[in-house]
Structure 1
């Protein structure tokens, strides 16, 4: 699924089916976000635990005069920028109560965000929910510099807000629910820094955010230009989104049979082995771990967007052109 939003290009791909693994890349003129979604799942009778193992990355593209010692950003489109690189791993997610139809989602564990240029680190502890619901959603943490000195305290809740305070500027424990107003408010407290605040979201099916809904949407004007592997074209998913649950279940069974047949053909040599189309696995130099890098063509453009522009131009000219080296992975059924 790939789409533009606010001058941002995004391109995810499921690079492996067994084990399930997805790679993604999002970019704008000021930052890049990339990484993989790779998790170890464990069913524990009454709950389901998801332990992510993939690494997430963010590059901030800063003016060169801000940090002249940083690596320069090599691009034909963006000039005089340097790269500040961050990486982190997600915490464990636990889903319980789904058997009774009232699921509860909890996140817990330590998240370590590393600035690979300054060597500063932010350590955030997601506290597990107690049996009475105590500490639900709570986060506490701190920032340390390259010398191991704590420079900031952090507290909040992952469903409401995240607040920081520089060490030495306040008194007492930093409460996760402290009231922090905007910087222009006369009642704002100077020592508190509002890092993030959750926005109110309209009621939507499956608790999707407005942004996620736009990504799932597939208007008829867009459909001719997206790859046949785009998940918005998967008929069982579309039937489920339309509320046709029995039809969705039938289509899901057909889709899985089609996938099993494809897998068997690959194992028997009747079909070529699977290979990711838009990404290649490399070793990230700062972390030393695997990173999925998007394939690029001339002028540093992502190959996915170059191919899509070719399809767009051909379609506009009334020509029928197939996506290059893209397999048909969905059954051809109407939702």
Structure 2
């Protein structure tokens, strides 16, 4: 990827002047503006063949983790593209979540019960808890807690780092998935309603997603994004709408068969697809060094960016 960015920068600045956004970053005697490049995103297949990926996660070490339920293992792709196996023999592997304080966790779900496994700093696995129900979704908050839902009782639970389980709320419908931020959980219900659940158990409906939505993520701006099927039966990513009558807030169309998605720290997409047996990265957000001081400056690929200005020509 670094080699690719170098090539792109050379092409951009040698063929014409890119557009610049208005939000400047002042550094010493010059300013930094985000660079807008009129271009489609860079799409690349990651060097991993998977059978049935059920989850994908971009962690704090700039690694991409892929959970394969058929192989019962989790793969790791590091920042330079090297692939390794992180964990094996994970029967019922369904989801992954990373806690800032407690590390990586896996949700293993069977028909009537679930387990949560933690990967320790030395690479060993330990059981956090057993759940007497089939769990749906797994997320970690900033305080070392895990959150999950019951597939059958409509209940939302919080689990401490030591495995103690607390019922936080009972919802009106079954939950499909949840994400967690500093305020609590956001839960996707079967009907497409989106509920907020605070740590104290207060609930509130905050909007709607398509009823076909099945997975939630938070993007780099902490906005909720869901994957669903549109009215044209195409697989798409969309945001929350205020009313159920509004058309889906379509953000992107993704390949049919996409089962899971994630965002990296810059907001670039990572897609897992069992039909293609592939993991794909879609990159439109870059950080490139300023040629004067070396500070990293945002560079954004966008089809809506203005065209590059003609290259300057000088005569002497």
TM over 0.5: no
Q: Which has the higher strand share?
A: 2
**Greater RCO, CA 8 A, separation 6+:** 2
Higher radius of gyration, 1 or 2: 1
Structure with the larger helix share: 1
